[in-house]
Amino acid sequence: MEFVTRILHLAPETAIFAALCIGVPLGRVKLGRFALGNAAAVLLVAVVLGVTLTGPAGIVLPTTLKTLAFGLFVFSVGFAGGPQFFASLSWRTLNTVAIAATVSLTGLLSAVVMARLLGFDKGTAAGMAAGALTETALLGTASGALAALPLSPEAIRTLEANAAVAFALTYVFGTIAVVFFVSQVAPRMMGVDLKAEARALEASIAASSGGPRHGLAYRRIDARGFRVTTGAGRSVAEIEAILAEGRASIEHLKRDGAVLPITPGLTLREGDELVVAGRRPAIVAAMALIGPELEGWDLLAPMETFAAEVVVTKRAFSGRTLQEVSAELGDLAHGVFLTSVIRQGQEIAITPTLQVMVGDLARIVGPRQQVEGVIAAIGRRKAESERSDLAMLGFGLLAGTLLGLLEVQVHGIPITLGSGGAILVAGLVCGWYHARNPLIGDLPPQAARVLWDVGLAIFVAIIGLNAGPAALAALQQQGVAVLLAGAVVAVLPLLAALAVGRWVLRMNPVILCGAIAGAQTQDAAMLAASDVAESSTPVLGFTVAYAVGNIMLTMIGPLVVALS
């Protein structure tokens, strides 16, 4: 033990590294769909190390490092979510935004009421809110507000220790509650079969996507070569109209050894060789419509295709469905296929009703000229550079820190964003500005993810390590009360969101379940709902609610501290 104590005094940062190397693997362990995740597991391990090692050794890690780590984390959250957050604030996404706002507001009010009823201090109230609402970033913004209180350093460390314990006690129940509520309780309270509702929604989407083949094809594609026999005498436009349901198109045509330009009025002749690209059902149908499939790749080889990743930056398309975007692009996007959409690092299901958001990363493939035209119409090509603009990062951290120093008195109660909340706002603005001016302030998604993960892990590790023996005392004094209060705070926002979404906004049950999961920033809950529904349609409500909920829940941390 003396050897360990000597190591801690010589290199106190080893305690942080130990918390990370033990906590991260622990956070990956799954029990069914449930996993603690990196942040919660690192915090738990750090609390144990604080009680057993750093606390008895008298080690207190510097608060400056904790503040810097949290600043890096919240800036990356804001930067990644900025484009979607501002783009989601429109009438088209009003319902899902309302669900996120309902969860955040109900969570704030219930946390404050329970803290006052049970006499919790501000630290316990903040930790309980963060854990029950499963939002680790809330713990960070609340920690900044606690540090700004006119108290001694020892008193602030006690509050932070209480916050860490309350978070650890309530996080597990909060996570399980969201997953179980969205997948099991909510459908029963609405009196619906989630699987049947998902099938009906899919049928509605399929029915709405019919019509002539124009614009961007939003399906995964295949390509086959055919020799024209039964299709002789028909024009390209006629063939494509029949294959419209499969979103297929003729991409290449050879006649007597010469390649002909594809035009709608071009009439096919017997013996022509052509390529049809589209969904597999359309490829199968093309054989009876056009003629026998050709063997080998000789016909496909000359067909020039071009793949690109494009970031949506044109606000005119934000909030509009993929079907509307496709129709507006029209012939400009003929032969261009959308193969995937990435939002905040996650691939989302491609459906005609998917709402396009500024900042979405779309992967498209097709003839080079048409692909270039689509890129110019909807945004800009993803930058090839993997370098981060550290000047933008530094500006965001500086501006946020200065903004966090401002304080407003409301009926004698000091209200401040704190450095964490203010840096989040700076990150939102920087991310939004970069989406509109892509040549300025680039922060590649991989780099942002590293800042996100490392910053959050180091922050919660320091919180737990500095808790020390005070964490054990808090657990002994208020453990049961915090658990009960956390259960209330976890459940009430879910019930409120369900009531507002189902009986006020009249939302589709499947989309509503996805929106509730997103408002609580719980991927596991969305996946659980998708399993029950045997469909990916819950993601239609998840993405916008996630972008908004992630910001709103983070921002209420200082309010919990001020009002409890």
User: CATH number for the domain including 373?
Assistant: 3.30.70.1450
Q: How many CB atoms lie within 10 A of CB 384?
A: 6
Confidence of residue 213 (pLDDT cuts 50, 70, 90): very low
Residues 311 and 275 in one domain: no
Distance CA(84)–CA(394), nearest Å, equals 22
Q: Is the residue at 552 inside a domain?
A: yes
Q: Is the residue at 222 inside a domain?
A: no
The whole-model pTM stands at 0.72
Among residues 496, 499, 515, the alpha carbon closest in space to that of 97 is found at: 515
List the structure tokens of 253. Answer: 């045509």
pLDDT tens, position by position, 393-421 = 999 999 998 988 887 776 665 666 777 88
Residues 359 and 463 in one domain: no
Residues 161 and 73 in one domain: yes
Residue 515: is its pLDDT beyond 90?
yes
Residues 452 and 510 in one domain: yes
Residues 317 and 284 in one domain: no
Q: Per the structure, how many domains does the chain have? A: 3
Q: Is the residue at 14 inside a domain?
A: yes
β-strand partners of 273: 227, 254
First to last CA, the chain: 41
Q: Is the residue at 223 inside a domain?
A: no
Residues 250 and 182 in one domain: no
Identify the three-state secondary structure at position 411.
coil
Q: Is the residue at 297 inside a domain?
A: no
List the structure tokens of 517. Answer: 């999961």
Domain around 514 = 1-200+388-563
User: CATH number for the domain including 17?
Assistant: 1.20.1530
pLDDT tens, position by position, 360-375 = 888 888 777 788 888 8
Distance CA(554)–CA(460), nearest Å, equals 15
Residues 403 and 371 in one domain: no
Residues 95 and 40 in one domain: yes
Contact 86, 563 (CB under 8 A): no
In whole angstroms, what separates CA 179 from the centre of its chain?
Answer: 17
Map tokens 């054989």 to a residue: 287
Q: Given this model, what pLDDT does residue 211 score?
A: 44
Q: Is the residue at 68 inside a domain?
A: yes
Residues 398 and 497 in one domain: yes
Residues 363 and 411 in one domain: no
List the structure tokens of 41. Answer: 């597991």
DSSP 488-556: HHHHHHHHHHHHIIIIIS---HHHHHHHHHHHTT-HHHHHHHHHHHTSSTTHHHHHHHHHHHHHHHHHT
Q: Is the residue at 160 inside a domain?
A: yes
Residues 402 and 428 in one domain: yes
Distance CA(214)–CA(194), nearest Å, equals 33
Domain boundary among 381, 416, 445: 381
Q: Average of pLDDT values for 416-443?
A: 80
In whole angstroms, what separates CA 175 from the centre of its chain?
Answer: 17
Q: Is the residue at 209 inside a domain?
A: no
Confidence of residue 208 (pLDDT cuts 50, 70, 90): low
Residues 471 and 445 in one domain: yes
Distance CA(142)–CA(106), nearest Å, equals 17
Domain boundary among 348, 381, 414: 381
Domain boundary among 290, 318, 340: 290
Residue 173: is its pLDDT beyond 80?
yes
Contact 441, 434 (CB under 8 A): yes
CB-based contacts of 441, cutoff 8 Å, min separation 6: 389, 391, 392, 430, 433, 434
